Amino acid sequence: MTNDRPITTLFLIESLDGKIFSGDNDSLDVDRDWKTIDGVKEGLY
């Protein structure tokens, strides 16, 4: 059985005020945009 999916890691950073973001810019908003991304929205609760 082969696994054709790429091996990836998602790093999340939490600031002191509690905001979670995924990198050095704010191009994607966690609350607004992540719910629309296939593969990410399935893991959000």
Average pLDDT, the chain: 72
pLDDT at residue number 38: 85
Cβ partners under 8 Å of residue 34, min gap 6: 28, 40, 41, 44
Confidence band for 21, pLDDT divided at 50, 70 and 90: low
User: What's the rounded mean pLDDT across residues 10-19?
Assistant: 70
For residue 20, pLDDT over 70 is answered with no
Cβ partners under 8 Å of residue 33, min gap 6: none
pLDDT at residue number 28: 72
For residue 45, pLDDT over 70 is answered with no
With tokens 């990836």, the residue in question is 8
From the list 37, 34, 15, 35, the residue with the least C-alpha distance to 24 is 15
